[in-house]
Amino acid sequence: MNKFKKSILMSSIASMAIFNHANAETINLRIMETTDLHTHMIDYDYYKDKQSNKVGLAKVATLLKTARAEVKNSMFFDNGDLLQGNPLGDYVAKKTGLKAGDTHPVYKAMNLLNYDAGNIGNHEFNYGLEFLKNSTDSANFPYTNSNVYVEDGDGDKSNDKNLYPPFLILDRQFKDTDGNNQMVKVGVIGFVPPQIMAWDKANLEGKVYAADIVDSANKYIPIMKSLGADIIIAIPHSGISTATRVSMEANSSAYLSKIPGIDAILFGHSHSFFPSDRFKSFPGANVEKGTLNGVPATMPGFWGSHLGIVDLKLKKTADGWQRAGGTSQIRSIYKTENRKTISLADADPQIVASVKAEHEATIAYMNEKLGTLSAPINSYFALMYDDPSVQIVNNAQIWYVKNALQGTEYDDLPVLSAAAPFKSGGRIGSDYYTSLKAGDIAYKNIADLYVYPNTLHIVKMNGAEIREWLEMSAGQFNQIDPSKSADQELINKNFKSYNFDMIDGISYEIDITKPARYNGKGEVIAAESHRIINIMYNGKPLADDKMFAVATNNYRASGGGKFPGLNGSKTIIQAPDQNRVALANYIFEQKNIDPSADNNWKFAPIGKDVNVIFISSPDGIEFGKALGIQAIGDETEGFTSYRLSLK
Ligand code: MN
Ligand code: MG
């Protein structure tokens, strides 16, 4: 073959190849997410002081390595709520502090994992702006947030600067399906609930302000496109809601899925799981494919429970690379079988080692003094008397809610608080009680006072509804026959003590000679019976139509325990904090705590001498004496029998 012919042949092969390529240029890109880690770097529950198979970036890191190895091209993002949420976060923020130049321990871990970028969550603002800046300055990856601006005070919003870069355009080289290198401009845009201005008012007022999430997307996405972004990944720290959009919603991710230009959504904030059956009937959701209105989307749980994965197919067009399909999934670090938690991922030893010093210091910090108790707290007789172990929770919740309602439309509602004794023996055993001595109270004791990781919810209810709430609680007691002189069992053992809500801010009596008004399903079974009597607010009988804001938890507010009227519809505020975080912050703030119960409820006088009996811990014998409760003998399984004489 002569030189000329060879060159024609070569060029025709080359042009054929180019022609074929034009049809086939495809990139498979895997995009992964962590969200709502809340300082859970390793597999440890500091409240229980033991290893946990249900939390920890160290375990997610193992899933990440596997998921990365499965593909040629991947990126990795964090969606925020990173710096606060377990005692490690408080240890750094409140004990050691963080100076400019210091590396926050979360980044000692995360900087090992090649994150491409991060987004700011609402909890990032909990410890103030300087702490936030010093923290994110120690990340080895960039941050973005598009809807928080620095307040410059000149009254002109047009020149306001974003607190963080409103978006990023990351140049990335990927391998296409033919094995060729391709450059792609990946746009990344972050969002936070504008509610930060209420939730962290003290840290933020006058310093920054927040804009609506959808408005911010509409503002920046065209700019990102004009700067050449081939694809755009949205990272909203925001859940999804079926409500019609007005403006300034906290949960705006479903609205974002309808904005042209967004190719993938890595969302979070609501500590839920997408795709999952929870969202089967959510409008626009396809939980088999993992899309929201056609856009691949993922929300990988909380505390390092899951890795979120979006698999995008990109095709080259005249306008650059475009999404030509995509799916999503979540991968869990554990599964539950027969009520047992089974680990699905080992903790990555490098991540564990990276925060070893801070982890050990946090365990020590849990034992340090947080404040002082002027009286002991125990729950041995929490079902018989207004009790300090419940009172301190209610006091903390009232303190928290009064702050939370400031400047909202609910500002002038009087605040009540509901709480129940969590640790009160029962089936868990005779040592399952809270018992704290007067004197120093440590951080670890928070877990004795509030066992469950509930979040604080506020419901709006009137006097009549609150009365029914308490009627349901009063199902804790058997009906007592005033004509009997023999001992009578006081406690209805089928009624869980965590459903014995006591409401502070009002006073009332419980008439246990009447039958229970409700059964355990929240159905009225004795329509004529009212056990809750003499219910008073501010020294006057409680009016049926008087409105209140009542602090409770997500479990109760959304229908847990089947309380009358409580089905989620009364919830006015889903606070961003756990009840036990509110309690810890209350003790941090007050330092000296008087936990004495205010005796706002008691058994109504019976008019006859009646003896009731029940079981509790033998450790309560001395405390019982002071309350007129007499120990009468040993019971099975380590319990002691007690007798209380009522009149
Ligand atoms: Mn969160
Ligand atoms: Mg009380």
What are the DSSP calls for 530-593, one per residue? --EEEEEETTEEPPTT-EEEEEEEHHHHTTTT--TT-SSTTEEEEEEEEHHHHHHHHHHHH-EE
**Which residues have CB under 8 Å from 603's CB, separation 6+?**
384, 509, 510, 511, 512, 646
Strands 640-646, 231-236: pairing kind: unpaired
Tell me which of 496 and 227 has the higher pLDDT.
227
Give phi and psi for 293, each to the nearest 5.
50, 40
**Which DSSP letter does residue 639 get?**
-
Extract the tokens encoding 181.
């290198």
Region of residue 132 (phi > 0: left; psi between -120 and 50: alpha; otherwise: beta): alpha
Residue 595 banded pLDDT, cuts 50, 70, 90 = confident
Nearest ligand for residue 419 CA: 2
Extract the tokens encoding 64.
């990440």
Q: Residue 352 Cα, ligand 1 centroid: separation in angstroms?
A: 22
Q: Residue 535 Cα, ligand 2 centroid: separation in angstroms?
A: 13
Q: Residue 240 Cα, ligand 1 centroid: separation in angstroms?
A: 14
Quick check: 81 and 36 in contact, CB under 8 A?
Answer: yes
Residue 9 banded pLDDT, cuts 50, 70, 90 = very low
How much of the chain exceeds pLDDT 90, in percent? 88
Q: What is the pLDDT of residue 18?
A: 46
Nearest ligand for residue 389 CA: 2
Residue 357 burial by Cβ neighbours in a 10 Å radius (0-12, 13-18, 19+) = exposed
Q: What is the mean pLDDT of residues 547-553?
A: 98
pLDDT digits (tens, 9 = 90+) for 465-485: 999 999 999 999 999 999 998
Extract the tokens encoding 123.
């909890």
Q: Residue 35 Cα, ligand 1 centroid: separation in angstroms?
A: 8
Quick check: 482 and 609 in contact, CB under 8 A?
Answer: no
The angle at the Cα of 597, spanning 596 to 601, to the nearest 5 degrees, equals 165
370-601: what CATH class? alpha beta
Nearest ligand for residue 392 CA: 2
Over 50: is that where the pLDDT of 1 sits? Answer: no
Q: What is the pLDDT of residue 10?
A: 47
Ligand 2 ion: nearby residues, β-carbon < 5 Å: 386, 391, 504, 598, 600
Over 60: is that where the pLDDT of 6 sits? Answer: no
Q: What is the mean pLDDT of residues 358-378?
A: 94
Extract the tokens encoding 37.
């880690």
Strands 231-236, 264-266: pairing kind: parallel
Q: Residue 505 Cα, ligand 2 centroid: separation in angstroms?
A: 8
Extract the tokens encoding 224.
């990102």
Whole-angstrom distance between the N-terminal and C-terminal Cα of the chain?
118
Quick check: 253 and 236 in contact, CB under 8 A?
Answer: yes
**Spatial separation of the C-alpha atoms in residues 252 and 287, rounded to whole Å:** 18
What residue type is assigned to position 245 of the chain? R
Q: Residue 592 Cα, ligand 2 centroid: separation in angstroms?
A: 18
**Spatial separation of the C-alpha atoms in residues 332 and 63, rounded to whole Å:** 8
Over 70: is that where the pLDDT of 8 sits? Answer: no
pLDDT digits (tens, 9 = 90+) for 392-405: 999 999 999 999 99
Residue 3 banded pLDDT, cuts 50, 70, 90 = very low
**Which DSSP letter does residue 622 get?**
H
Q: What is the pLDDT of residue 339?
A: 82
Q: Residue 613 Cα, ligand 2 centroid: separation in angstroms?
A: 23
Residue 12 banded pLDDT, cuts 50, 70, 90 = very low
Q: What is the pLDDT of residue 138?
A: 98
> What are the angstrom distances between the C-alpha of 374 and each of 82, 299, 436?
35, 45, 11
Q: Residue 109 Cα, ligand 1 centroid: separation in angstroms?
A: 19
pTM for the full predicted model: 0.86
**Which residues have CB under 8 Å from 173's CB, separation 6+?**
181, 182, 183, 184
pLDDT digits (tens, 9 = 90+) for 293-341: 999 999 999 999 999 999 999 999 998 999 999 999 999 999 999 888 9
As a CATH number, domain 28-358 is: 3.60.21.10
Residue 431 banded pLDDT, cuts 50, 70, 90 = confident
Q: Residue 7 Cα, ligand 1 centroid: separation in angstroms?
A: 63
**Spatial separation of the C-alpha atoms in residues 100 and 108, rounded to whole Å:** 15
pLDDT digits (tens, 9 = 90+) for 563-573: 999 999 999 99
Nearest ligand for residue 238 CA: 1
**Spatial separation of the C-alpha atoms in residues 438 and 554, rounded to whole Å:** 31
Q: What is the pLDDT of residue 11?
A: 46
- Cβ atoms < 10 Å from Cβ of 521: 8
- Cβ atoms < 10 Å from Cβ of 369: 11
> Where exactly are the structural domains of the chain?
28-358, 370-601
Containing 7, the helix (H) or strand (E) segment is helix 3-24
Nearest ligand for residue 598 CA: 2
HSE-up (13 A, CA, CB side) for residue 328: 31
Over 70: is that where the pLDDT of 74 sits? Answer: yes
**Which residues have CB under 8 Å from 619's CB, separation 6+?**
378, 380, 433, 435
Over 90: is that where the pLDDT of 2 sits? Answer: no
Q: Please count the residues of the chain.
A: 647
pLDDT digits (tens, 9 = 90+) for 125-150: 999 999 999 999 999 999 999 999 99
Tell me which of 172 and 426 has the higher pLDDT.
172
Residue 15 banded pLDDT, cuts 50, 70, 90 = very low
- Cβ atoms < 10 Å from Cβ of 482: 13
How much of the chain exceeds pLDDT 70, in percent? 96
Q: What is the mean pLDDT of residues 41-65?
A: 96
Q: Residue 568 Cα, ligand 1 centroid: separation in angstroms?
A: 20
Q: What is the mean pLDDT of residues 66-87?
A: 97
Q: Residue 221 Cα, ligand 2 centroid: separation in angstroms?
A: 53
Nearest ligand for residue 595 CA: 2
Over 90: is that where the pLDDT of 14 sits? Answer: no
**Spatial separation of the C-alpha atoms in residues 11 and 7, rounded to whole Å:** 6
Nearest ligand for residue 418 CA: 2
Greatest alpha-carbon pair distance for the chain in Å reads 122
Q: Residue 34 Cα, ligand 1 centroid: separation in angstroms?
A: 11
Q: What is the pLDDT of residue 24?
A: 63
Extract the tokens encoding 4.
């000329």
> What are the angstrom distances between the C-alpha of 137 and each of 131, 168, 280?
10, 16, 40
Q: What is the pLDDT of residue 430?
A: 87
The rounded mean pLDDT for the chain is: 94
Q: What is the pLDDT of residue 457?
A: 97
Q: Residue 165 Cα, ligand 1 centroid: separation in angstroms?
A: 22
Q: Residue 377 Cα, ligand 2 centroid: separation in angstroms?
A: 13
Nearest ligand for residue 271 CA: 1
Q: Residue 271 Cα, ligand 1 centroid: separation in angstroms?
A: 6
